[in-house]
Amino acid sequence: MPKPTKGPRLGGGPAHERLLLANLAVALFTHKSIETTETKAKRLRPLAERLVTFGKRGDLHARRRVLAILRNKDATHELFAVIAPQVELREGGYTRITKTRFRKGDNASMAQIELVLEPVNPKPKSAKKVAAAAAPVAKPAAAVVADEVIDDVAVDAPIEEAVETDVVETVDAVETAEAPAEESAPEAGAEPAVEDEAVADEAVADESTAEGDDK
């Protein structure tokens, strides 16, 4: 079973109530202000606010939703073309209810419900809010510690790179200095080869001398 609508029931049934409120909304959007009973005005306000919100959206789907409720093309066009641009900067409170009189005959309380179409004047910001917006946002302690660690690492990094560069340059210099000495030093197997050549030359000389003596 559907839950009944909060507030007094209007008309003979739910369908009658929907049609009654739709007719009141059409009259409100057409004339911008109507007088009805206080009870009907209070029940009309949420419906009218919702329809104005659809009008501010302005798309095709919103237009179809409003047309399905109002069932009046002229009132729907008035809502989207005239009323919605006038309340574009307003963030709610599109209607105003004012009690007027007691109706003669049944002494019912009457009220006037109207659309609030006055231009919106934004309130100036207070000095505290301006100062809070201008003041720098304080970082939490963890963020401060992290920044300090990053700064320390950034400072120490060039020193470590310089030390590594000096070590590499020193090693290169030592290798360069030792290379000529190793090249100039005779190899282990070179000396015996020179001695063998000298002995062979002496033997050839002796043989040539002996041949000369024999002749």
- Please give the pLDDT value at position 98: 97
Beta carbons within 8 Å of 92's beta carbon, 6+ residues apart: 49
**DSSP state, 83?**
I
Phi-psi category of residue 180: left, alpha or beta, with phi > 0 → left and psi -120 to 50 → alpha: alpha
Give the pLDDT confidence of 70-85 residue by residue, as tens digits.
999 999 999 999 999 9
Assigned fold of 14-115: 50s Ribosomal Protein L17; Chain: A, (3.90.1030)
Task: Read off the pTM.
Answer: 0.56
- Please give the pLDDT value at position 142: 57
Strand-pair partners of 96: 114
For the chain, which residues score pLDDT lower than 50?
155-157, 159, 163, 180-194, 215
- Please give the pLDDT value at position 175: 63
Residue of 97, 73, 23, 84 whose CA lies nearest to 51 = 84
